Amino acid sequence: MRASDNQSPVMWENGCRATRLPHGKGDRVARGHKMACSLVAIFFVLTAVGAAGSEPKRVLVVHSFGSVAPPFTTHSVAFETELVEKMGERVDLDEVSLDMARYADPNLQEALVEYLQKRQAHWQPDLVVPIGSPAGVFVEQYRDRLFPETPILYTGMDRRRLSPHALERNAAFIGENFDGPGFIEDILQIAPATKNIAIVIGASAVEQYWATAFRKEFEPFTNRINFIWLNDLSLDQMLEKTRALPPDSYIFLILLLRDATGVTHNADEALQRIHAVANAPINGIFQHQLGLGIVGGRLYQAELEGIESARTAVRILHGEPASSFPPRIVGPLSPRYDWRELQRWKIDEKLLPPGSTVLYRTPGLWEQHRALIIGGISICVVETLLIAGLVVNRIRRRHAELSLSESEDRVALAADAAQLGVWEIDAATNKVWVSDKVRNLFQITPGTDVDYAAFQERVHPDDQPLRDSAIKRAIETKGSYEIEYRILLQDGTVRWISGRARCMSDGDGRSTRLLGVSMDVTERKQAEKEAMEQRDELFHLSRVATLGELSGSLAHELNQPLGIILSNAQAAQHMLAGDAPDIPELREILADIVGENLRAGEVITRLRALLKRGETRLLPLALNAVIKDVLHLLRSDLVARGVTAESKLAERLPDVPVDEVQLQQVLLNIIINACDAMAENPPGDRRLRISTSAESGAVCVSIEDQGRGLPNGDSSQIFEPFFTTKSHGLGIGLAICRSIITAHHGRLWAEPNKGRGVTLRIELPVIAPALS
Amino acid sequence: MSNPNGVVYLLDDELGMVKAVTRLLRARGFEVHGFTSPASFLEAYRPESDSCLILDVAMPELDGLHLQRRLTHKGILLPIVFLTGHGDIPMSVRAMKAGAVDFLTKPVKDVDLLRAVRAALARAAEQREAATISARLTRLTPREREVMEHVIAGKLNKQIAFDLGTGEQNIKIHRGRMMHKMGLESVADLVRIAEKLGIGRKED
């Protein structure tokens, strides 16, 4: 149901931009004039590192709204990137696009089906991936004629849009399940006084579906909320309405593809137009709308879904049946809000639900200083105050038109000592004054006049919009800002700058100036990066050491399938040498060989993931699945040690953002420790209990052993580096486990059991509540 | 003996492995019975035929080395071929000391497995023969036994009669009864068996 053709970059929290394919805006315009069902069949052969010589796998992506329609673009780019990376071999990717949002004519669908049938003669896909509900509905409807045998991966759509039978035959689903009441609850959470909610939605087929669905879901609220449905209006009429809503109103934008008068719109542009005139706050559904004028709440993100779909696609292409994947519902992100909108509508941050993130915040003066100290910048407080005092002093003096030179000298001296560059922009004339240190930092030729353009020139192109908008906003709102950005010097070096500025205006408001300081923080950034890399390296080394301990049982995990393959193959060879080979038996043998081969491959994939060096990457995951994976990897080791593992995993646990490999590492370490602790117990008395549970806002894992317990009953000692009770090992395992869990914003601790042994508990915060 | 070629029992906790090895051995004409748990194997085991056991070392319920000891305690002298996913030297030494025929690691080649299975079945046949002979030996009278030892030593009836202080005719009768009780037809057979059982060596 996402449909917007907005071309503006999707901003991430950290200000980076999502990568996108180089499609032009003209593409969409041209398409409108072509056939009603425009077809964009682009042929990519994407080559991955280490491309294999074998036939590449063929994937057909079916787009709903053209290939340049965010958040679909975000979804499909993430999908394609992840697919190529994870596949590890060549992928032959073909795309077809139905502009169903605008043209839902059955005759044209028929033409498209015939076209696809003709193409199938030359190009048979191994997997079909419809993205978005119109594509999903189309593929489901024509599947028997087009792809009767091909696995289907439905993604980027709400589960309700497909029939209950869609997933019965060789098909998988990764999508969302929009929580209609949840959107209204999000609004009431931050604006409890709301009496009216104006619903912006268009009148195309897909929009009619959602209008009906949401009308029904909003029913429980109708006794306290007056819903104003704008679906039978033109956009201009909608703008008129939202301009003059009654007090205590809120606007909720579901979708705007085509209004009631038949005019096609870009939902993101429409959002911005409404935002410009509306007299009430606005909410939407998608993460990318944050920053375009919505206040915020639990928003859906397409990128994540794209990545998850690609991972599933890889497994299907590697031979796993699509029907073996249960339908996967990707929930919304944790609540996040646009600070500027909160300010504009005077929404108290105390009303935000716990765990909320506020973006686009422009910090106050106190926060500036606090950040300065916390940021670890080595200027002592006294110096900072001195500079601030001197700057103020300097301003006062300027106003009094006293001699500037003395204070400027002092400012310069202090700023020099602190390695700070000082600058000032006159908003009226656009003139910029910069200190020598700034010239030095930005490599601006001494003695030249500096205007705003020259001042911006050295900023890294990717960061220019960030700084530009921060400066303009500070001047507009007479506020202040604190940002970190990069500058790109002439020789190509990149340096990190921490910049803060504050707007000063005369008492009569005639002249407005922006006063700023800039500081080179490249070393700090570098140190942070190195620390991060060293941490990741340490995690990696400890992981390798853990796996070393397991090498024996891992060999077993591999030798078992290899042994089965060899014996089967040799049995078949012998059977074939006979007079009348038993064909059904041979068929079964080959099926077993394939199955065991996949199993051995999985073991290797798991090991490779664990042995890989990589930076920490947090993605929402089902904890239970990670635990099952680890127990699988440890199966042989547990058998060899005579340990029985019982797991009691809670159903319907919300996903938690984790680095899968690092979490596996933590679980491996803790479980191996628990087994070591029980080594002296008689066989049959070595029981390990693993359980999961949902706590408020967190998910908890408990690993309970029946071992010798904590040394001296002291639970903190075991997490100290180089503490060990074993004859082997360095004693850094648990220390590293704790730092991994801490890096996940979670907790790891040990509790002595009532009887004997210890229970280790891991608590990880939940980002997004699961919807199902 | 129901099957002249012998019966192979196979015990591995993994069904895939049981199926694969069963196919391999059946293709070579062996009678194979596969099991995935020690309990089901113990229930199905019949001592009538010459048989051997192919045994996985690592099983969750009861590991292979334990089962080997348990069988020995029960008096089941089944030649065992161990198969393991990851064997170490101490483990194989323990198994061999406890009487295993061979200790093979997975993945196992058919030639190695067949050689081990044939050796195990041969040992089973020998064990059966030895057990039969031992049982027959107990039925000999002390005098018959004395006569047998002398025959094995290669003495003529006359010499034996002299040694034992009796008549040649008596010796002939004892000798005839002894050969009959032992189920043997020629002195050569007697010597072969005696060698195996270690009878008569003390006189050398």
Q: What is the pLDDT of residues B4-59, one digit of tens each?
A: 678 999 999 889 999 999 999 999 889 999 999 888 998 999 887 889 999 988 77
Q: Please tell me the predicted confidence (pLDDT) of residue A408.
A: 61
Beta carbons of A518 and A424 less than 8 angstroms apart: no
A163/A218 same-domain check: no
Q: Please tell me the predicted confidence (pLDDT) of residue A448.
A: 81
Contact A563 B60 (CB under 8 A): no
Q: What is the pLDDT of residues B110-161, one digit of tens each?
A: 999 999 999 999 998 888 888 888 888 888 898 898 899 898 888 899 999 9
Q: Please tell me the predicted confidence (pLDDT) of residue A197.
A: 93
Q: Is the pLDDT of residue B184 over 60?
A: yes
Q: Is the pLDDT of residue A32 over 60?
A: no
A271/A168 same-domain check: no
Lowest pLDDT segment from A18-32, A598-612, A685-699, B65-79: A18-32
Please list, in sequence order, all residues whose beta carbon lies within 8 angstroms of the beta carbon of residue A520, skipping any fewer than 6 positions away: A419, A441, A495, A496, A497
Q: What is the pLDDT of residues A393-427, one digit of tens each?
A: 556 555 554 455 555 666 666 767 777 888 888 88
From first CA to last CA, the distance across chain B in angstroms is 36
In A8-52, at which residue ranges do the beta strands (DSSP E only) sit? Answer: 43-46
Q: Is residue A526 part of a domain?
A: no
- How confident is the model over A63-67, as a mean pLDDT? 70
Q: What is the pLDDT of residues A261-282, one digit of tens each?
A: 888 777 788 888 898 889 999 9
Q: Please tell me the predicted confidence (pLDDT) of residue A583.
A: 92
| Tokens coding A572 | 């078949």
CATH number at residue A379: 3.30.450.20
As a whole-number percent, the residues of chain A with pLDDT over 90 amount to 16
Q: Please tell me the predicted confidence (pLDDT) of residue A380.
A: 46
Q: Closest partner residue to B17 among A552, A560, A640, by Cβ?
A: A560
Please list, in sequence order, all residues whose beta carbon lies within 8 angstroms of the beta carbon of residue B166, skipping any fewer than 6 positions away: none
Q: With an 8 Å Cβ cutoff, is A587 touching chain B?
A: no
A340/A373 same-domain check: no
Q: Is residue A19 part of a domain?
A: no
Nearest CA in chain A to B26: A571
Measured between CA atoms, how close is B113 to chain A, in angstroms? 10
Contact B86 A636 (CB under 8 A): yes
Q: What is the pLDDT of residues A364-383, one digit of tens each?
A: 444 454 544 444 444 444 45
Which one of A319, A341, A359 terminates a domain? A359
Q: Please tell me the predicted confidence (pLDDT) of residue B33.
A: 95
Contact A557 B109 (CB under 8 A): no
As a whole-number percent, the residues of chain A with pLDDT over 70 amount to 80
Which one of A359, A378, A402 terminates a domain? A359
Which one of A359, A375, A404 terminates a domain? A359
A336/A286 same-domain check: yes
- How confident is the model over A612-620, as a mean pLDDT? 79
Q: What is the pLDDT of residues A442-459, one digit of tens each?
A: 888 877 888 888 888 889
Judging contacts by C-beta atoms under 8 Å, the chain B residues touching residue A597 are: none
Contact A563 B106 (CB under 8 A): yes
Beta carbons of A19 and A37 less than 8 angstroms apart: no
Q: With an 8 Å Cβ cutoff, is A324 touching chain B?
A: no
- How confident is the model over A287-306, as a mean pLDDT? 85
A85/A133 same-domain check: yes
User: Rg of chain B over CA atoms, in angstroms?
Assistant: 22
**Domains parsed from chain B with CATH numbers:** 7-127 (3.40.50.2300), 139-203 (1.10.10.10)
- The backbone region for A744, taken as left when phi is positive above 0, alpha when psi lies in -120 to 50, beta otherwise, is alpha
Q: With an 8 Å Cβ cutoff, is A646 touching chain B?
A: no
A594/A450 same-domain check: no
CB atoms within 10 A of CB A360: 20
Lowest pLDDT segment from A294-308, A551-565, B185-199: B185-199
Contact B20 A574 (CB under 8 A): no
- How confident is the model over A109-113, as a mean pLDDT? 79
Q: Please tell me the predicted confidence (pLDDT) of residue A104.
A: 57
A283/A309 same-domain check: no
A445/A483 same-domain check: yes
A275/A410 same-domain check: no
Q: What does the mean pLDDT of chain A come to? A: 79
CATH number at residue A309: 3.40.50.2300
Interface size, chain A vs chain B, as Cβ–Cβ contacts under 8 Å:
85
Q: What is the pLDDT of residues A175-185, one digit of tens each?
A: 888 888 889 98
Q: With an 8 Å Cβ cutoff, is A563 touching chain B?
A: yes
pLDDT tier, A35 (very low <50, low <70, confident <90, very high otherwise): very low
- How confident is the model over A550-557, as a mean pLDDT? 77
Q: With an 8 Å Cβ cutoff, is B65 touching chain A?
A: no
Q: What is the pLDDT of residues A690-721, one digit of tens each?
A: 999 998 888 999 999 998 877 776 667 777 76
Nearest CA in chain B to A560: B85
Q: Is residue A31 part of a domain?
A: yes
pLDDT tier, A580 (very low <50, low <70, confident <90, very high otherwise): confident
**Count of domains for chain A:** 4
Bridge partners (DSSP) of residue A93 are A44, A59
Please list, in sequence order, all residues whose beta carbon lies within 8 angstroms of the beta carbon of residue A240, skipping any fewer than 6 positions away: none
Lowest pLDDT segment from A127-131, A132-136, A387-391, A430-434: A387-391
A616/A596 same-domain check: yes
User: Residue A424 is part of which domain span?
Assistant: 365-519
Q: Is residue A591 part of a domain?
A: yes
CATH number at residue A632: 3.30.565.10
Measured between CA atoms, how close is A1 to chain B, in angstroms? 46
| Tokens coding B38 | 């020690």
Which of B10, B13, B15, B23 best tests the A interface by mutation, with the highest count of A CBs <10 A? B23
Q: Please tell me the predicted confidence (pLDDT) of residue A252.
A: 93
Q: With an 8 Å Cβ cutoff, is A565 touching chain B?
A: yes
Instruction: Specify the DSSP element, H or E, that contains B11.
Output: strand B7-11
A397/A434 same-domain check: yes
Nearest CA in chain A to B91: A640
Q: Is residue A458 part of a domain?
A: yes
Q: Is residue A128 part of a domain?
A: yes
Please list, in sequence order, all residues whose beta carbon lies within 8 angstroms of the beta carbon of residue B180, skipping any fewer than 6 positions away: none
- How confident is the model over A123-129, as a mean pLDDT? 89
A698/A579 same-domain check: yes
Nearest CA in chain B to A589: B20
